Amino acid sequence: MSRNVMNALIKSNSQPLSFCYGDERINFERVLRPKATSKVLIKVHPDCRVVVSAPEDATSETVLYAVKQRGRWIYEQLREFRQQLEHVTLRKYISGESHYYLGKQYLLKVHVEPDQVQGVKLLRGKLEVSVRASDATRVKNLLNDWYKIRAREVFARRLDVLLEQALWVQERPPIRILTMQTQWGSCSPYGRITLNPHLVKAPRDCIDYVILHELCHIAEHNHSERFYRLLSQVMPNWEKTKERLDGLASRILAL
């Protein structure tokens, strides 16, 4: 599994930088801090991304100084998260595994039935997959197709609900479902929203966060102060929700 697990479009307005701690060079992203403050905020995410939020007028020297001051803490956080990632087991798509849907874990049960129709059903707390022959790749493909169908239905419903809050959106934006390597979602300059089908594995509030994030991009295309102000108006707790989604990513995406 790639360690660049998904993140809802934080990179388009970021600046890659790095510093040395001992013998290790640590890369980090500098992003615009949404709140009017002179402080530099440093976060180490469970996928081992280091993100530094700083005011627009802060110099690179100021940012690097702040990061180096926290160098030991950053290094220790990275070491802890790397150890956790080593224990993330890639799924084998066999009976007994757990798979996520809307934030809950469901036991996978594979039925090999040569004469039955192949497909996936969610029954009594289990994801039941019927295949004609024992084939992990086939089970994986059937599950991915099932997730895409559910994603289209769930995302459409949540979009309809969230549009009631997004008063700046004049017309219902089209949704595209697309598996992406480094993003949960994106918004085109023309207002089309693209969402990752794996997002349907996350809790509903995390799905709402990503959709609202992209709806805000219809009004503000960059991660500007106005963008974050708008996002905070419609979802005051978005930072905690985003952090929760980041924390779940390695488990949700252990493919």
Residue 66 near residue 19 (C-beta atoms within 8 A) = no
Residue 99 near residue 88 (C-beta atoms within 8 A) = no
Tokens 């169908």 belong to: 149
Answer whether residue 92 is part of any domain. no
Residue 222 binned pLDDT confidence (cut-offs 50, 70, 90): confident
Strongest mean pLDDT among 37-41, 185-189, 228-232: 228-232
From the list 32, 17, 47, the residue with the least C-alpha distance to 183 is 47
Residue 14 binned pLDDT confidence (cut-offs 50, 70, 90): low
From the list 71, 92, 57, the residue with the least C-alpha distance to 28 is 71
Tokens 């990752």 belong to: 196
- Mean pLDDT value of segment 153-180: 94
CA 20/CA 18 separation, integer angstroms: 7
For the chain, give the percent of residues with pLDDT over 90.
53
Find residue 121's DSSP bridge partners. Answer: 128
Give the domain extent around 23: 11-86
- Mean pLDDT value of segment 72-99: 81
199: tokens are 């997002």
Answer whether residue 3 is part of any domain. no
- 237, with CB counted inside 10 A (0-12, 13-18, 19+), is exposed
User: Distance of CA 186 to CAs 8, 43, 44, 65, 180, Å?
Assistant: 7, 22, 23, 33, 10
Residue with more model confidence, 37 or 148: 148
Residue 9 near residue 217 (C-beta atoms within 8 A) = yes
Q: What's residue 89's pLDDT?
A: 64
Residue 88 binned pLDDT confidence (cut-offs 50, 70, 90): low
Q: Does the pLDDT at position 169 exceed 60?
A: yes
What does the DSSP assignment read for 108-140?
A: EEEEE-TTSPPEEEEETTEEEEEESS--HHHHH
Residue 89 near residue 71 (C-beta atoms within 8 A) = no
Answer whether residue 18 is part of any domain. yes
Q: Does the pLDDT at position 129 exceed 70?
A: yes
From the list 65, 86, 64, 73, the residue with the least C-alpha distance to 43 is 73
Answer whether residue 75 is part of any domain. yes
- Three-class SS of residue 168? coil
Residue 224 binned pLDDT confidence (cut-offs 50, 70, 90): confident
Task: Specify the long-range contacts of residues 17-25, CB closer than 8 Å, at least 24 apart.
Answer: 17/52, 17/60, 17/63, 17/64, 17/67, 19/64, 19/67, 19/68, 19/71, 21/68, 21/71, 21/72, 21/74, 21/75, 22/75, 24/75
- Mean pLDDT value of segment 139-158: 96
Tokens 């001051």 belong to: 69
Find residue 89's DSSP bridge partners. Answer: none
Q: Does the pLDDT at position 101 exceed 50?
A: yes
- Mean pLDDT value of segment 188-211: 94
Find residue 124's DSSP bridge partners. Answer: none
Structural domain total, the chain: 1
At 1, the amino acid letter reads: M
pTM: 0.70
241 C-beta neighbours (distance < 10 Å), count: 20
Find residue 42's DSSP bridge partners. Answer: 52
Q: What's residue 34's pLDDT?
A: 64
Q: Does the pLDDT at position 118 exceed 50?
A: yes
Answer whether residue 123 is part of any domain. no
